[in-house]
Structure 1
């Protein structure tokens, strides 16, 4: 009993139940059911990239599901950055810098095992936990979106190599990790990067007109100068011949990278080897078709017919069984080791080469 005249001490009680104050438990996939993540990821790849979806079914089940989980994140990041829906037409680009920042924040949260309220990022958190993918790997990919956000354009072939690494080669490295390639196997990782570079070079050659319409240009300024193409005039009718010559150079580089990439498949399990060779065949055919069309390459979008894809997948099966890929006549000029020196030591790009972000003005 308290003494007269003294205030009664009331025990302090928490303002909210303790369960609310506890930190969120970290769980792969943000706590989502893995099967639902896989199912949604497959829907995204089936809609966003029919060629890749076809090739991915050749993997064993475990690898196939992880490939879909990784693809979902890549596709979602690309759509957020470009204001697209599963790779459709480019949307409003006015706030792209803020969107890239959001991509980085959501990716970091996913890697920490926290829910993101976005199934594609939760999918990345799931596959990252299973395959030990890191924020550094993710940042290498996100840097490609950031370059686009800054209105960057390559001055040299070496600049283009870095860009292709960020948007595709780095994904190839993560794909290799998903297929069980160990971090110390630098040769196979370099060949995986080659395949990503080949894919991106094919994409650039095919999409030169679409990029031009969106105000983007991935052709190095030095290459344009060599062809006497004035700024902003690449896809004008009077430069179609020069554009076709540039596309041929891109396809030649693509050819060397995809041939080099095949050398790394020797060490993969059969199903993974078959899938990678099928993807290499299909994407290479896109580049070869651009080259065959010449000046008419951009009259209509290059698409590989279903029957042709089946033929290329069948050819890949025979190649996977034989497992004796021939090296390219000449190894690619761009090597993963050299690119990483630029990325890690030199940074992305000098400040004078980029447009200022809104908060930097």
Structure 2
């Protein structure tokens, strides 16, 4: 594989700095090799997401016509990356490099790409299970690959389960935070059954009169996110110190987003919830303290788990 690794790492570093300040902040806590590999993997995730949504670094969604063609391009470039072939796109070349170095498999990548396929099909979750299946694809499966990048062996199913939990927690927080943005783009990731329970038509999801009921659903999402975040801390305890520190810092940063959405209630979508640079530093400090302590005990793990969701993902429809 004759790629210019330093150039790909530099491009990936710039991509994460522009695409996710939260992940960029947490990634600085890894050792050099792991940090670079995390950047390389992130670059692929970001580029796939941008291609799928016809956007730039997570910005405003573009024209969604041709979604199936863009999905085919993602699969084609990813296949070339796994084959060690130049793709003409540094983000896919970066993925080929990190997949080769860490043993990421095509099946792992397809778990993520399947989430883009759902969006390309105009899919909507009908049940909580459907929503969690989507969260598995677009974030839980990424958490699994991140664990592999950090050196977690495939036989450590327990750690991979908890890595998936962290991804699920992140995505549930994203769904709660981005209800208004998703509605503007013609998307909805709240289960139809949840909306029906509250008497909210999807077409009226952001209507002022629906805000009290919508805030209750957001609180439900936040509670799910917090359960999975807490579970992820059990797995983080099995990692090396710097890896543990980075993961716990990221969990704190994203956990704060979920908490703030819940705290704001009906005003959660008046402006986009974010974490300030000063707050991120605070969570890095809290992550350090947490990395030195034993993880909190849980009476029971969350209802939804990686293997259950992966099995659902492979069912027809």
Q: Given the two structures, how large is their TM-score scaled by the length of structure 1?
A: 0.87
Which residue pairs with 1:136 in the alignment? 107
Once the two structures are superposed, residues 276-330 of structure 1 have per-residue CA deviations (whole angstroms, 9 ceiling, x without a partner) of 00000000000000011110001011011111111111011011012x1113454
CA distance in 2, matches of 1:202, 1:260: 15
Q: Structure 1: how far apart are the matches of 2:297 and 2:142?
A: 23
2 CA distance for matches of 1:255 and 1:83? 31
Q: How far apart in 1 are the matches of 2:155 and 2:15?
A: 32
Matched, 1:49 2:41: no
> Which of the numbers 233, 247, 267 marks the counterpart of 1:262?
233
Alignment of 1:17-96 (within 5 A): 27=1, 31-96=2-67
The structure with the largest alpha-carbon Rg is 1
In the TM superposition, what are the counterparts of 1:221-236 in structure 2 within 5 Å? 221-236=192-207
Q: Is the 8 A contact 1:256 1:330 kept in 2?
A: no
When the two chains are superposed, the root-mean-square deviation of aligned CA atoms in Å is 0.8
Q: Which moved more, 1:197-206 or 1:302-311?
A: 302-311
Whether 1:308 and 2:315 are equivalent positions in the alignment is no
Q: Distance in 2 between matches of 1:178 and 1:332?
A: 25
Matched, 1:333 2:303: yes
Q: 8 Å contact 1:256–1:328 — kept in the other structure?
A: no
Count of aligned pairs between the two proteins? 317
Deviations 1:14-73 (A, max 9, x none): xxxxxxxxxxxxx2xxx3200000000000000000011000000000000000000000
Contact 1:82–1:93 (CA<8 Å) still a contact in 2? yes
**Secondary structure of 1:303's partner?**
coil
Q: Deviations over 1:179-237 (max 9, x none)?
A: 11110111100000000000000000000000000000000010001111123111111
> 1:340: how far off?
1.6
Cα distance in 1 for residues equivalent to 2:213 and 2:44: 36
* Deviation beyond 2 Å, 4+ runs, structure 1: 327-331
Partner SS state of residue 81, structure 2: helix
Unaligned runs of 5+ in 1: 1-26, 350-361
Shift in alpha-carbon separation, 1:247–1:329, aligned structure 2, 3 A: farther
State the match for 1:180 in structure 2.
151
On the 8 A contact 2:183/2:206 being kept in 1, the answer is yes
